[in-house]
Amino acid sequence: MSQPNSLLAQLWAKTDTPGVRTFLLSILALGIAFLLAVYSGAAAELGNIGVAASSALFALAIAGWVAVTIVPTLAKRTPLRWIGYRMEYRITRAGWIYIGATLLVALAALNTGNNLLFLILSCLISVILMSGILSSISLAGVELRIELPEHIFAGQTVHASVEVHNEKLMFPSFALRVEALVEKEASAAAVLERPVFFPFLPRQERVKQSVPVRFLRRGLHVQDSFRIVTRFPFGFLQKARRVTLKSEALVYPSVDASSVLADMFPGIEGSIESHSKGRGHDLHALREYLPTDSARHVHWKASARMGSLMVREFAREDDRRVLLVLDPYSADAQGESRENAEERFERAVNLCAGIAWHFYGRNAQLEFRGAGIETRLAPAAESIFTILRYLAVAEAEKPGMESSLLPELAASPDLFKLIVTSRPRGTIAAELWHSSYVVFLESLEQSSGRG
């Protein structure tokens, strides 16, 4: 007996106590009004017209009081929005078979007039009605929430959280399936590639599932239409309810290391070192020599004065100071097809993201510039996600709208620049070559056999 008592205690704790009291008061008042109405009828038959009239007036007054005072209070506490849910119906294959069998029984009952067949027919029809009622109850009062990870990279599988909440006070829900609705003309992928199934959802409870999601392309993926579907209880009828829930996923470009990037980084590192030597290092401190130090960093004068080998230590920010630039140039301006131009710019964005992620792993001092964005020189850990958010939605410049980004960079030769561009060779100003490493997409395509 302890388990039923505990269940009743939990139910009472989650119940709207003032609402229950108001409901019970209305039932009591209406019961009294009913008894007065019955007494009024009996008094009228006995000839007591005055008693009958007064009893009828009291019954009418009590009923009117309930209608004016208690009914509006109960209506405010009732989740009437569930009644306005838009339901979608579809008869399943099993449902069509069942309806066909019901029609055969109906024809046999009408032709023979057998009461047993009529009884069977009524049971078959009642099963259809109960299927519709129970499926509606199962869908009513169910709310949906979807949470996506903060950082999502194209081509990588991450886990999203799908949560359903049963707001009903008394009834659980069964066999719920959550699906994403994608319009036929939409080019973006759905947030949920596969339906998520919830076999049982207790009343006043939340159930959460973690599901894998994967986006193949960068960009902002918006999903605002979902559907909760059920075939409970018999599978004859599939009933669905649309849920408007705006879910956004900002997908960064892929940062997976490719063979192109692996072949490129030695040249980039060499260019950075050459540029650093050309403009010199700022001396940070002197310290004792360690076996892992290079002999060229030995400070001989200080070593002779101190009586032991001393090496020079340079300021760390001068070791890896990089200005990463994404040129918004579009190959479409040179007469290439739109598809090839878009594909080449996508490769430029992916290369730029991979390079930024590489310097993030090296904890370099990184600055980034693109069309409409300029980050300050700071440790890459502070600006990497700002850069990736820009790259997620970056677009190539339109033909006829030449960007002034590269001419502006030519005026600042003090910082090493790493430029990723779709321009052909020979179109970069000579002033940039002395302090830049330029990645030409055209050359990469030719070296990989794409040209």
Q: Does 277 lie in the same domain as 419?
A: yes
Q: Does 191 lie in the same domain as 103?
A: yes
Beta bridge mates, 196: 178
Q: Does 142 lie in the same domain as 52?
A: no
* 52 in a structural domain: yes
**Phi, psi (5° rounding) for residue 285?**
-170, 170
- What percent of the residues of the chain are helix, what percent strand, and what percent coil, each to the nearest 5? 45, 25, 30
DSSP conformation class of 298: B
Q: Which helix (H) or strand (E) holds 225?
A: strand 219-230
Query: Among residues 252, 273, 303, which one ends one of the domains?
Result: 252
Q: Does 126 lie in the same domain as 24?
A: no
Question: What distance in Å separates the CA atoms of residue 371 and residue 349, rounded to the nearest whole number?
Answer: 12
What is the pLDDT at residue 268? 63
**Phi, psi (5° rounding) for residue 301?**
-65, -45
Could you give the count of Cα atoms lying within 13 Å of 418 in the half-sphere of its Cβ?
26
Rounded (10°) CA dihedral 160, 166, 172, 178: -40
* 185 in a structural domain: yes
Q: Is 333 exposed, middle or buried (0-12, 13-18, 19+ CB in 10 A)?
A: middle
Q: Does 322 lie in the same domain as 276?
A: yes
Q: Does 235 lie in the same domain as 151?
A: yes
Q: Does 424 lie in the same domain as 396?
A: yes
Question: What distance in Å separates the CA atoms of residue 340 and residue 444, rounded to the nearest whole number?
Answer: 15
Look at residue 144 and give its three-state secondary structure.
strand
Number of structural domains in the chain: 3
* 274 in a structural domain: yes
From the DSSP assignment, how many helices (H) and strands (E) are in the chain?
13, 17
Range of the domain at 328: 259-282+316-447
What is the pLDDT at residue 411? 57
Question: What distance in Å separates the CA atoms of residue 111 and residue 121, rounded to the nearest whole number?
Answer: 13
Q: Does 236 lie in the same domain as 91?
A: yes
Could you give the count of Cα atoms lying within 13 Å of 428 in the half-sphere of its Cβ?
22
* 422 in a structural domain: yes
pLDDT tens digit at each of 451 positions of the chain: 445 555 445 545 555 577 778 878 888 888 888 888 888 888 888 888 888 888 888 888 888 888 888 777 766 665 555 554 567 888 889 999 999 999 999 998 888 888 888 899 899 989 888 888 888 888 888 889 988 888 889 888 888 899 999 988 888 999 999 988 876 555 556 677 788 999 999 988 999 999 888 888 888 888 778 889 999 888 888 988 888 877 788 899 988 766 666 666 666 665 655 555 444 445 556 778 777 676 777 777 777 787 788 877 654 444 557 788 888 777 655 555 667 777 878 888 888 888 888 888 888 888 888 888 888 888 888 889 998 999 888 887 776 556 667 667 655 656 677 888 777 776 666 666 666 777 777 666 555 544 3
Q: Does 121 lie in the same domain as 229?
A: yes
Query: Among residues 26, 52, 78, which one ends one of the domains?
Result: 78
What is the pLDDT at residue 83? 52
* 278 in a structural domain: yes
* 63 in a structural domain: yes
Q: Does 220 lie in the same domain as 92?
A: yes
Look at residue 258 and give its three-state secondary structure.
coil
Q: Does 225 lie in the same domain as 146?
A: yes
CATH of residue 99's domain is 2.60.40.10
* 298 in a structural domain: no
Query: Among residues 236, 252, 268, which one ends one of the domains?
Result: 252
What does the block give as tokens for 267? 């040249």
* 292 in a structural domain: no
Q: Does 98 lie in the same domain as 190?
A: yes
